[in-house]
C-alpha cells in the first residue's frame, strides 16, 4: 500500500463485523456484531474540505477521506444504549513519509469536539491508528486477510492501564445480497472510525 | 527487538490466556482460556540441539529456543478432547536478516512429524509466524502491549479458504501468586507454539 487512502479504497462497500471485547480486569469476553458501510472520498470532496477547515488545516494537504456509517449491538448493552451513527474523516499525510500522517474526524465518541489521530501503514500493510482522548487512549490495527476479509484489533487504556482488548473479523457483504435487518441496538465502542 | 529470542525471553514465565475464536462460516464466537508456561532456552541447551538434529539442521546455526507447556479449555470441547501438553522448538535465523528465519518444532498438532514455520519480527516488534500443514495453513502474530500483557491473532486457512480467526489476550501471572487449578479440558487449537 502506498498510502492510507488505498486502505479506504479497499474498504469501500458494506461489511458485517463480528466483534469480541476482552474485559481484562474481569477476564470476561463480550460478543457483538455490527454492519458497516464505508465510502472512500476524493481529496476535493466538500466533506473532506469541511473537516480540514474545522481543524484549521489547509485542505490542499488532504489526500482524501472516507464516510463511515454503522449500526451494531453488543451483548451487554443496556436498553438505552443506541449509538448507530456515521462519521466523516480526512487524511493528512506527513510531508516526508506518505505512509504516516494525521487523521482528522468530525467528532469523537465521548467528546463532541473534533478529534485527530495519528496513523501509519506498517510493513505488513496494516493500518495502525493511535488516538488520545481526555481520560483514555486507543491503539487500533486494521488489516486485510484477503480483499473480502478485514480484521482489526484494538486496545483501550484508561488512566494509564489497559482496560479492554477487542478483536473484529469483518466480512464483505456482496452487492447482490440483501442487507440484513439492522440490529436494534448499538454500543459505545471506542473506535476512531466509528464502526 | 533485535531477534526472535528477545521475544521468548520477554515471554518467559507463566501466563493466563483469554481466547476467542471466530468461526467465520458460522458467524459464531467460541470463548476459551488456558494457562501457559514459557521458558527461553539457550542455543547450547540439549533440547535445542536435539530439535536441530531431528530436522537435520546444523545446531550451531540456532540462536536458542523455548519450552512451552499449556493446558486449557474451549467452550465447545467434547469430553474426549484433552490436549494439554508441551513442546520445544529452536530458532534458526536467516544469515542475512536476523529478524527473520525458521522455527523448528518437535511435533505438530494434527501431525506427528516435525513441523517447521517461517517467522519474522515486523516493524512494530510483532512476531509473525506462518506455518503450512498438509491441508491447512496458519498465520499468527504475537505482540506485547506491555511487558505483562501479550496479545495474539491467528487465522487458519483450510483448503485455501479462511475458516477461523482467533484473538488471545495473555496476562502474566505474578511469581508470588498461586497457580489456578488447571482447566479440566483443553482444545485442538492450531497454534505453532502450542498454547
Residues of A within 8 A of B126 (CB-CB) are 124
Look at residue B113 in the predicted model and tell me its pLDDT.
62
Percent pLDDT > 90 in chain A is 62
How many structural domains does chain A have? 1
The Cα B192–Cα A178 span in angstroms is: 39
Residue A181 lies in a domain: no
Residue B194 lies in a domain: no
CB under 8 Å to A190, separation ≥6 — which residues? A109, A110, A133, A136, A138, A154, A156
Q: Which of A24, A29, A118, A123 to mutate to test the interface with B (most CBs of B within 10 A)?
A: A29
Alpha-carbon torsion, ordered B166, B171, B175, B178, to 10 deg: -80
Hey, are the CB atoms on B22 and A18 less than 8 Å from each other?
yes
Three-state DSSP state, B137: strand
ipTM here: 0.77
> What is the DSSP code string of B84-102?
-EEEEEEEEE-SS-TTEEE
pLDDT tens for A111-146 read 556 678 999 999 999 999 999 888 889 999 999 999
Would you call A144 an interface residue with chain B, using a CB distance cutoff of 8 Å? no
- Is residue B192 predicted with pLDDT exceeding 80? no
Comparing CB atoms, the residue among A124, A151, A162 nearest residue B128 is: A124
The Cα A124–Cα A164 span in angstroms is: 24
Residue A183 lies in a domain: no
Residue B192 lies in a domain: no
- Is residue B29 predicted with pLDDT exceeding 50? yes
For residue B74, the enclosing domain spans 4-172
Lowest mean pLDDT among A24-28, A126-130, B17-21, B44-48: A24-28
Residue identified by cell 485455501 is: B160
- The CATH number for B135's domain is 2.40.128.20
Residue B145 banded pLDDT, cuts 50, 70, 90: very high
Residue A184 lies in a domain: no
Residue B81 banded pLDDT, cuts 50, 70, 90: low
What's the mean pLDDT in A74-79? 68
Rg for chain A, CA atoms, rounded: 16
Those of residues 27-46 in A touching chain B at CB distance below 8 A are 27, 29, 31, 33
Residue B186 lies in a domain: no
pLDDT tens for A26-49 read 888 999 889 999 999 999 999 999
Residue A178 lies in a domain: no
Amino acid at each position: 500500500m502506498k498510502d492510507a487512502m488505498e486502505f479506504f479504497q479497499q474498504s469501500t462497500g458494506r461489511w458485517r463485523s463480528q466483534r469480541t471485547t476482552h474485559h481484562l480486569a474481569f477476564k470476561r469476553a463480550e460478543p457483538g456484531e455490527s454492519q458497516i458501510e464505508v465510502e472512500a472520498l476524493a481529496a476535493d470532496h466538500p466533506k473532506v474540505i469541511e473537516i480540514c477547515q474545522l481543524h484549521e488545516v489547509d485542505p490542499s494537504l488532504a489526500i482524501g477521506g472516507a464516510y463511515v456509517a454503522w449500526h451494531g449491538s453488543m451483548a451487554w448493552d443496556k436498553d438505552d444504549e443506541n449509538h448507530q451513527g456515521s462519521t466523516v474523516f480526512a487524511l493528512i499525510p506527513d510531508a516526508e513519509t506518505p505512509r504516516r500522517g494525521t487523521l482528522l474526524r468530525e467528532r469523537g465518541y465521548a467528546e463532541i469536539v473534533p478529534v485527530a489521530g495519528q496513523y501509519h501503514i506498517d510493513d505488513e500493510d496494516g493500518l495502525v491508528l493511535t488516538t488520545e482522548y481526555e481520560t483514555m487512549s486507543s491503539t487500533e490495527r486494521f488489516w486485510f486477510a484477503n480483499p473480502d476479509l478485514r480484521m482489526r484489533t484494538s486496545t483501550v487504556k484508561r488512566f494509564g492501564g489497559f482496560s479492554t482488548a477487542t478483536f473484529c473479523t469483518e466480512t464483505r457483504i456482496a452487492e447482490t445480497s440483501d442487507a440484513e435487518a439492522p440490529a436494534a441496538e448499538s454500543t459505545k465502542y471506542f473506535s476512531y472510525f466509528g464502526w
